């Protein structure tokens, strides 16, 4: 009785706040609870793994591991990451889809990444870099299967069911963290740790993918036209994946440039500085993920655009508070969590600016994807990438191979991307 009473009271309070927020607060609260919980567990698992690796491995080994993961992230673009958003969009509109067919398509395309990895391994064979060769060959075998089975998560989110994928993804992240930590206790070999990363990820995702295929509601959704709808999803997913090419490169270019030009030890220092703000950003970026089905379903007129922009500006103002709190606390946090990384403190303070900026950029990206503004997405991402590289090269000359240069470049490029993104959101659909 008490729980029911509290639920009813909460609903009434949320309903009253809708007058000020102009948002379906009950939908937001219901979805955000599970997504925030899932992301919170995922971020905590990721933080524990980073803490463990950073404190157990030498800086150069930890930096090398992160460098490998950045390369893997870029190679995984070939597995059509845009299909996930296309599935959410289609399911939210009531379409029938053939998930196994979509997953197989992702696997087939993933083999392109495997082929590229093998070509890169041949290049490093001539230079005699055995560690890179081993990492790339291992990646070639695993890449097609790392992202293919995540379609289960998109299926649930398209049905506005955020609880199930949040639980599944949380268990997957915990399982992967346990596997990596267990392996690190046995071996400090980077290639073996990388194998643990792949194994934990693929096993968990495949298990929940197979579990999803047994879902009764999925059987109801399937019908005679599901193959044609699935083909449409794959087609749009391919177009959307083009936008992921630039965004994935942009998301990893900082690590690649630092690792290549400044060295893997500087990369380790930079990554530690980025770890906490990145996880805070991921937590707040759950809001656009909740809103994506709504963006896909709703009309996109002048009134709708004005409301969304107003909400984004309000969220930006609110996020300045946790950014300032983090910037004040980070000189005390890093020495406690990462004992050998006091050099990361000043860089971490600069990266605190990402906390109010990055979630707004995530909302802008979701809006552009939901409205199928593919051209605008690509233009935005290319401009962001160019600005980052230019600022990095200029600042790095003055700071002499410091981890601060990619941090400043990242904040500046994200801030400029925010203004350009707001411009695109405010433009009418025919642009």
Averages of pLDDT over each 10 residues, the chain, 431 residues: 43 47 48 67 86 92 92 91 85 81 92 94 86 93 91 85 86 94 93 95 94 71 60 82 82 88 91 87 64 54 72 85 92 90 92 90 80 80 90 82 87 92 72 40
Specify if 137 maps to a domain.
Answer: yes
Position 117 in a domain: yes
Write out the residue range of the structural domain in which residue 400 sits.
Answer: 21-426
Q: Has residue 104 been placed in a domain? A: yes
Question: Does a structural domain hold residue 353?
Answer: yes
Summarised one tens digit per residue, pLDDT across range 24-52 is 444 455 556 666 677 778 778 888 999 99
- Helix axis angle for 264-284 and 404-426, nearest 10°, is 30
Is 9 part of a structural domain of the chain? Answer: no
Query: Minimal CA–CA distance to 236: which of 374, 96, 37?
Result: 374
- Predicted confidence at residue 216, as pLDDT, reads 61
Per-residue pLDDT reduced to its tens digit, 366-398:
788 777 777 888 888 889 989 999 999 888 887
Q: In this structure, is residue 10 part of a structural domain?
A: no
Cα–chain center distance at 214? 27
Question: Residue 297: its pLDDT value, please?
Answer: 52
- pTM value? 0.79
- What is the structure's pLDDT at 302? 66
Which two structure tokens, joined as six digits, stand for 411?
Answer: 């904040």
Count of structural domains, the chain? 1
**How high is the pLDDT of residue 293?**
53
> Does 84 reside within a domain?
yes
Residue 416 has φ and ψ, to the nearest 5°, of -65, -40
Cα separation, 57 vs 234, whole angstroms: 41
Asked if residue 246 belongs to a domain, the reply is yes
Tell me what pLDDT residue 20 has: 47
């Amino acid at each position: 009785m008490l729980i029911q009473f509290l639920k009813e009271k909460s609903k009434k309070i949320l309903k009253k706040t809708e007058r000020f927020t102009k948002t379906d607060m009950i939908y937001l609260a219901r979805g955000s609870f599970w997504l925030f919980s899932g992301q919170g567990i995922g971020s905590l698992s990721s933080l524990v793994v980073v803490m463990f690796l950073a404190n157990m491995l030498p800086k150069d080994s930890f930096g090398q591991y992160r460098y490998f993961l950045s390369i893997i992230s870029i190679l995984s673009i070939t597995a059509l990451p845009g299909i996930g958003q296309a599935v959410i969009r289609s399911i939210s509109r009531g379409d029938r889809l053939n998930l196994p067919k979509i997953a197989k398509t992702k696997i087939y395309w993933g083999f392109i990444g495997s082929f590229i990895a093998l070509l890169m391994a041949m290049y490093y064979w001539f230079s005699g870099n055995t560690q890179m060769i081993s990492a790339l060959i291992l990646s070639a075998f695993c890449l097609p299967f790392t992202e293919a089975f995540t379609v289960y998560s998109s299926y649930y989110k398209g049905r506005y069911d955020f609880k199930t994928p949040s639980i599944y993804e949380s268990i997957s992240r915990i399982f992967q963290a346990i596997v990596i930590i267990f392996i690190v206790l046995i071996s400090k070999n980077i290639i073996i740790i990388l194998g643990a990363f792949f194994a934990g990820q693929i096993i968990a995702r495949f298990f929940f993918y197979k579990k999803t295929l047994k879902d009764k509601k999925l059987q109801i959704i399937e019908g005679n036209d599901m193959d044609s709808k699935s083909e449409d999803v794959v087609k749009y997913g391919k177009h959307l994946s083009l936008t992921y090419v630039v965004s994935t490169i942009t998301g990893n270019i900082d690590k690649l440039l630092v690792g290549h030009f400044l060295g893997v030890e500087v990369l380790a220092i930079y990554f530690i500085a980025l770890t906490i703000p990145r996880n805070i950003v991921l937590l707040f970026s759950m809001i656009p993920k909740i809103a994506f089905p709504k963006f896909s379903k709703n009309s996109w007129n002048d009134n709708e655009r004005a409301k969304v922009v107003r909400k984004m500006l309000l969220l930006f103002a609110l996020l300045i508070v946790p950014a300032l709190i983090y910037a004040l606390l980070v000189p005390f946090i890093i020495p406690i969590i990462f004992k050998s990384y006091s050099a990361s403190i000043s860089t971490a303070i600069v990266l605190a600016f990402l906390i109010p900026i990055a979630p707004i950029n995530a909302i802008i990206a979701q809006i552009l994807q939901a409205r199928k503004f593919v051209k605008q997405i690509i233009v935005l991402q290319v401009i962001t990438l160019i600005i980052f590289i230019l600022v990095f090269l200029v600042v790095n000359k003055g700071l002499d191979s410091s981890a601060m240069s990619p941090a400043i470049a990242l904040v500046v490029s994200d801030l400029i991307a925010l203004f350009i993104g707001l411009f695109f959101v405010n433009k009418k659909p025919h642009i």
